[in-house]
Amino acid sequence: MQHFLTMSDLRNDEILELLEEADAFSKGAQWKTPEPVFAVNLFYEPSTRTKCSFEVAERRLGLELLPFEVGASSVLKGETLYDTVKTLQSIGVRVVVIRHQEDEYYKKLAGNVELSIVNAGDGSGQHPSQCLLDLLTIQQEFGTFRGLNVCIIGDLVHSRVARSNACALQKLGATVKCSGPVEWYDPTMNIDYISVDQGVREADVVMLLRIQHERHKETAHLSKEEYHHEYGLTVERERMMKPNSIIMHPAPVNRDVEIASCLVECGRSRIFKQMENGVFVRMAILKAILQKEKVVC
Amino acid sequence: MQHFLTMSDLRNDEILELLEEADAFSKGAQWKTPEPVFAVNLFYEPSTRTKCSFEVAERRLGLELLPFEVGASSVLKGETLYDTVKTLQSIGVRVVVIRHQEDEYYKKLAGNVELSIVNAGDGSGQHPSQCLLDLLTIQQEFGTFRGLNVCIIGDLVHSRVARSNACALQKLGATVKCSGPVEWYDPTMNIDYISVDQGVREADVVMLLRIQHERHKETAHLSKEEYHHEYGLTVERERMMKPNSIIMHPAPVNRDVEIASCLVECGRSRIFKQMENGVFVRMAILKAILQKEKVVC
Amino acid sequence: MQHFLTMSDLRNDEILELLEEADAFSKGAQWKTPEPVFAVNLFYEPSTRTKCSFEVAERRLGLELLPFEVGASSVLKGETLYDTVKTLQSIGVRVVVIRHQEDEYYKKLAGNVELSIVNAGDGSGQHPSQCLLDLLTIQQEFGTFRGLNVCIIGDLVHSRVARSNACALQKLGATVKCSGPVEWYDPTMNIDYISVDQGVREADVVMLLRIQHERHKETAHLSKEEYHHEYGLTVERERMMKPNSIIMHPAPVNRDVEIASCLVECGRSRIFKQMENGVFVRMAILKAILQKEKVVC
């Protein structure tokens, strides 16, 4: 593939192939690009996990990374994303990993550039590498997606993770239901909504979403304590979960809001496992790009 | 050479030698520093093209780069440029590429440090590596500078590019004329001024300059549309250009101000070619520094 | 050792062993980590010397560095230091060098993480790698600590350097006295206070401290000129120093405040020598961590 932009672009067999490759990396498989390839991580929004994780993946594959801080670049002089990407292409960059605040920013780029674009999050759109790492974590746990009950709880409307995950999990045979404050229901998702208590009781996977304080124009009507009580994974709710069911969260966690702080590293939690897997799925994505297109310069 | 500071320091034969080396790199020549050399790109002003381009050049030559963000450094504690550079020298850095807002900032440094300084732009002074990449682009196109007509149009007084280029092109035998708003004429340049229409008609090279909004204390008296109409390369003016003549711009471009957006990637445009060449001239500059001085540690 | 947090954690023989290793590096010894190790320099406060110096040390030992700018990270989304460090651990980082504004920030981390933490400065607490480089500089000069007179002058109460150095030098047999404005005396240090003139006359090592303007809630009652006259190392005071005595300063220097500008690079000054030694002690610290714990991944 030339670009990696959305989960909806991928067929089931392509998803499963990426997961297989990622799982192999998680078990110690090695692969290096045979010739030097320059890559840039172009993050217009703050990130720790995704950016560092791509960085580790890129280094493990032997890519050469150019540092790029948007706040010290010509973006300050008004340069557009298109012109920045074309510039990077001109100086020899072959892979650009982009996080940008604009939904579907990649539509202006994809047909007009020769380098490869990896979407690391577009506005309130998708976050497909996060989706893949969530899928890998679930697959490692249960071996399959078919018949699993997944409950996604929280800030659905602002979440790139919810949309990508719900779509992919359904395609792969899981039953996905959502929960959380009614005003955060996402009218674009074709999904059943249930109460948090019911979701927590039924689910094999309880997937919590971060409240994206930075994307809310108005403060929510609930205090943090009230949110935690009404929609969070409290210590009491965790006790209602099925045996062998797991807790996921894309992080960063708002402790004692979406989830009780003491549950972040509890036995059911796969939150730090998800981060580990992030490196492996990103290695798989980049390998697929480097192998199937002649991006090696 | 120990330092690379201004075009006026260089004799014609030195310029031509650097261009020859750069051209060889553009055709695939390789050269690596035999021993580890630490370099720092010290940018006190925002940059995408120049900084990334030096970075690619440095990596291709095998230099070890230390990241340095001015905004996270002791510059915030009031440390002077001199003390910062001496510090970098003390910890083992051998090449510092500097962009700084002060004209001729390097005068305080050049005689007092042992490491090599590469000027990546000083205030409204010079930008000699940009000049070299412009020269390379012109030489690749026309094979010579002698007899060429070059017209530089726009924000002359704030442009480091205009000054370096006019001086070098004249030394190398080209005829250089300038155009643009009268209030942006540069009294320090000994040059003929002509109308934009005449410039566009006569020139082999139409060299547009970016309006440096960030350097203007007062807003110009013209709107963007008015500037484009009066001084920009409009679609109509491009049609008046001579056969085989080319368009250059140091970028970032203000689209539909200095140049019609649809011309940025037109057949005559060498704007992205200039960026490609940036890597090669910077490799040539760094190689000259690394070879002719014992900066290898 | 797993972590390197404070000087008070170290026995004399451990200090001397680190100094011996650092001295060997200063004389050209080489050591490389046999397998790839990812490291991050996590600086929550601005730094040039310490950050770049760790960076050079890390590169010389063959570590793989992940760039991390706090200002472009999830720290902006409210992520705690603990969660950031655990995240880095999850994606494969094995060494984190931390500078943080909170005193003893490492107490929340040290027992709960598997990676190694190197303290590059905690609030107004300690700065143990700076201490080691000061010790190395003194040892290289005098061969011993026993019987030496050291006078530390200046902003004692805000200085991480003063506390670490006084404690270590006394343990190693030196006599340490302090001087400076009475309101900056540090009630937590068990030390004799003397006049600046007496200190300068008696000392083998005159150790000046930077006035930490950024940590003072109120402006000092003295102008810069007054401070220099009353407590600074003026040209006149330097003439009172003993033969073979030396001047040290952790830098960045406030020129003509703590020390006359013309003395910064004078014959007695070891200020840039200290920076050189910074690289070597940091190599020694990191080697000790990489060898004595199985952090190699």
pLDDT, one tens digit per residue, over B11-24 is: 999 999 999 999 99
C216 versus C195: the higher-pLDDT residue is C195
Please write the tens of the pLDDT for every residue from B246-289: 999 999 999 999 999 999 999 999 999 999 999 999 999 999 99
Q: Is the pLDDT of residue B152 over 50?
A: yes
> Does the beta carbon of A215 lie under 8 angstroms from any beta carbon of chain C?
no
DSSP string, A80-144: -HHHHHHHHHHTTEEEEEEEESSTTGGGGTTTT-SSEEEEEEETTS--HHHHHHHHHHHHHHHS-
Tell me the average pLDDT of chain C: 92
Q: HEC string of B181-250?
A: CHHHCCCCCCCEECCHHHHHHHCCEEEECCCCHHHCCCCCCCCHHHHHHHHCECHHHHHCCCCCCEEECC
Q: Identify the pLDDT of residue C136.
A: 98
Amino acid at A259: I
DSSP-derived secondary structure for A179-240: ES-GGG--TTS--EE--HHHHHHH-SEEEE----GGG-SS--SS-HHHHHHHHSB-HHHHHT
Tell me the C-alpha distance between C248 and C263, whole Å. 11
Q: What is the pLDDT of residues B50-94, one digit of tens each?
A: 999 999 999 999 999 998 888 767 777 778 899 999 999 999 999
Of residues A78 and A136, the one with the higher pLDDT is A136
Q: What is the per-residue DSSP string for C3-44?
A: -B--STTS-HHHHHHHHHHHHHHHTT-----SS--EEEEEES
A252-256, C45-49, C194-198, range with the lowest pLDDT:
C45-49
Report the percent of chain B where pLDDT is more than 90: 77
pLDDT at C17 over 70: yes
Query: According to the annotation, is B50 in a ligand binding site?
Result: yes
Percent of chain A beyond pLDDT 70? 95
> In which band, very low, low, confident or very high, does the pLDDT at B292 lie, cut at 50, 70 and 90?
confident
Q: Over the stretch A200-214, which tens digit does the pLDDT of each residue have?
A: 999 999 999 998 776
Contact yes or no for B46 and A72 at CB 8 A: yes
Question: Do A272 and C90 lie within an 8 Å CB cutoff?
Answer: yes
Backbone φ and ψ for A186, nearest 5 degrees, come out as -105, 110
State the pLDDT at residue C214. Answer: 61
Q: Do A87 and B59 touch (CB under 8 A)?
A: no
pLDDT surpasses 70 at B295 = no
Name which of A40, A47, A49 to mutate to probe chain C: the one with the most chain C Cβ atoms within 10 A of its Cβ: A49
Split at pLDDT 50, 70, 90, the class of B293 is low
Q: Provide the pLDDT for residue B294.
A: 46
Q: Tell me the shortest Cα–Cα distance from C277 to chain A, in angstroms.
A: 28
Whether residue A250 lies within 8 A of chain C, CB to CB, comes out as no
Q: Which residue of A has its CA nearest to B277?
A: A91
B70–chain A Cβ distance below 8 A for any pair: yes
| Residues in chain B within 8 Å Cβ distance of C210 | 77
Q: Do C83 and A43 touch (CB under 8 A)?
A: no
pLDDT digits (tens, 9 = 90+) for A68-78: 888 767 777 77
Q: pLDDT higher for A151 or B297?
A: A151
Interface test with B, best of A91, A108, A113 (most B CBs within 10 A): A91
Contacts of B73 in chain C (CB under 8 A): 46-48, 51
Considering only alpha carbons, which residue of chain A is nearest residue C63?
A59
What type of residue is A89? Answer: Q
Residue type, C283: M
- Comparing alpha-carbon positions, the chain C residue that sits nearest to A53 is C91
Give the neighbours of chain C: at least 3 Cβ pairs within 8 Å: A, B
Distance to chain A for C202, nearest Cα, Å: 49
- In percent, the amount of chain B with pLDDT more than 70 equals 95
Is there a contact between B278 and A79 if contact means CB atoms under 8 Å apart? no
Residue the block writes with tokens 């890129």: A58
Which strands, in side-by-side order, build the sheet including B246-248? B192-193, B175-179, B149-153, B205-208, B246-248
Nearest to B91 among C52, C69, C255 (CB): C52
Q: Is B213 annotated as a binding residue?
A: no
- Nearest CA-CA distance, residue C40 and chain A, Å: 10
Q: How large is the average pLDDT for residues A212-227?
A: 71
- The answer to whether the Cβ–Cβ distance between B79 and C48 falls below 8 Å is yes
Interchain proximity C279–B87, CB inside 8 Å: no
Whether C72 sits inside 8 A of A67 (CB atoms) is no
Model confidence band, residue A255 (pLDDT cutoffs 50, 70, 90) = very high
Q: Which amino acid appears at position B184 of this protein?
A: W
Chain A neighbors of B54, CB-CB under 8 A:
none
B65 SS3 class: strand
Q: Does any CB of chain C come closer than 8 Å to the CB of residue A214? A: yes
Please name which of B76, B80, B109 lies closest in space to residue B95, comparing C-alpha atoms: B109
d(CA A1, CA A292): 6
pLDDT of C297 over the 50 cut: no
pLDDT at residue A287, rounded to an integer: 97
Average pLDDT value over all residues in chain B: 92
Give the sheet arrangement for strand C64-66, strand by strand. Answer: C64-66, C38-43, C93-100, C116-122
Of C67, C255, C272, the CB nearest to B86: C272
Q: Which of A69, A79, A86 sits opposite B69 (nearest CB)?
A: A69
| Closest chain A residue by Cα to residue B53 | A91
Place of tokens 């602002």: A158
DSSP secondary structure, chain C, as one string: ---B--STTS-HHHHHHHHHHHHHHHTT-----SS--EEEEEESS--SHHHHHHHHHHHHTTPEEEP--GGGSGGGGT--HHHHHHHHHHTTEEEEEEEESSTTGGGGTTTT-SSEEEEEEETTS--HHHHHHHHHHHHHHHS--TT-EEEEES-GGG-HHHHHHHHHHHHTT-EEEEES-GGG--TTS--EE--HHHHHHH-SEEEE----GGG-SS--SS-HHHHHHHHSB-HHHHHHSPTT-EEE--S---BTTTB-GGGTTSTTB-HHHHHHHHHHHHHHHHHHHHHHS----
DSSP A10: S
Distance from CA of A70 to the nearest CA of B (A): 9
For A87, the token pair is 């510039």
Sign of CA dihedral A132, A136, A137, A142: positive
**Å from B272 to nearest chain A CA?**
6
pLDDT band at C294; cut points 50, 70, 90: very low
Query: What are the strands of the beta sheet with A64-66, ordered from one edge?
Result: A64-66, A38-43, A93-100, A116-122
From chain A residues 26-55, the ones with a CB under 8 A of any chain C CB are: 43, 46-49, 51-53, 55
Q: Look at A297 and B61; give whichever has higher pLDDT.
A: B61
Q: How far is it, in rounded angstroms, from Cα C68 to Cα A141? A: 31
In order of their start, the domains of chain B are: 12-126+276-292 (3.40.50.1370), 128-271 (3.40.50.1370)
| Partner residue opposite A48 with nearest CB, options C64, C84, C89 | C84
Nearest to C47 among B73, B91, B93 (CB): B73
Residues in chain B within 8 Å Cβ distance of A72: 43, 46-47, 51, 69-71
Q: Which pLDDT band holds residue B163 (cuts at 50, 70, 90)? A: confident
- Closest Cα in chain A, distance from residue C297 (Å): 11
Residue A203, phi then psi, degrees to nearest 5: -80, 145
Tokens for A60, please give them.
């493990």
Closest chain C C-alpha to A192 CA, distance in angstroms: 30
Span A23-46, pLDDT tens digits: 999 999 999 999 999 999 999 988
Cβ separation B72–C47 shorter than 8 A: yes
pLDDT digits (tens, 9 = 90+) for B212-249: 776 555 445 788 999 999 999 999 999 999 999 999 99
Taking residues C250-273, what's their average pLDDT?
Answer: 96
Q: CB of C75 within 8 Å of any CB in chain B?
A: no
Instruction: Check if the beta carbon of residue C83 is closer than 8 Å to that of residue A252.
Output: yes
Residue C278: its chain B contacts at CB < 8 A?
91
Average pLDDT over residues A103-131: 94
Beta-carbon contacts of B219 under 8 Å, excluding residues fewer than 6 positions away, are none
CB contact under 8 A, B276 and A78: no
Q: Which two tokens stand for residue B117?
A: 């300084």
Band of the pLDDT at A216, cuts 50, 70, 90? low
Cβ-Cβ contacts under 8 Å for C119 (sequence gap 6 or more)? C3, C4, C5, C6, C98, C106, C126, C127, C128, C129
> So what's the pLDDT on residue C173?
97
Contacts with A255 from chain C: Cβ below 8 Å: 80, 83
Q: Which residue has the tokens 């943090």?
A: A224
SS3 of B4, please?
Answer: strand
- pLDDT grade for B100, boundaries at 50, 70 and 90: very high
pLDDT of A69 reads: 81
| Residues in CB range of C96: below 8 A, 6 or more apart | C39, C40, C41, C42, C85, C88, C115, C116, C117, C118
Looking at every residue in chain A, the average pLDDT score rounds to 92
Instruction: Tell me if B57 is assigned to a ligand binding site.
Output: no
Q: What b/e string do you get for C112-136 counting C-beta neighbours within 10 Å, with b at 16 or more?
A: ebebbbbbbbbbbbbbbbbbbbbbb
Q: What angle do CA A218, A158, A282 make, to 5 degrees?
A: 145
Q: Can you give the pLDDT at residue C220?
A: 58
Angstrom distance (rounded) from CA A192 to CA A45: 31
Q: Which two tokens stand for residue B68?
A: 């340095």
Residue in chain A lying closest to B210 (CA): A77
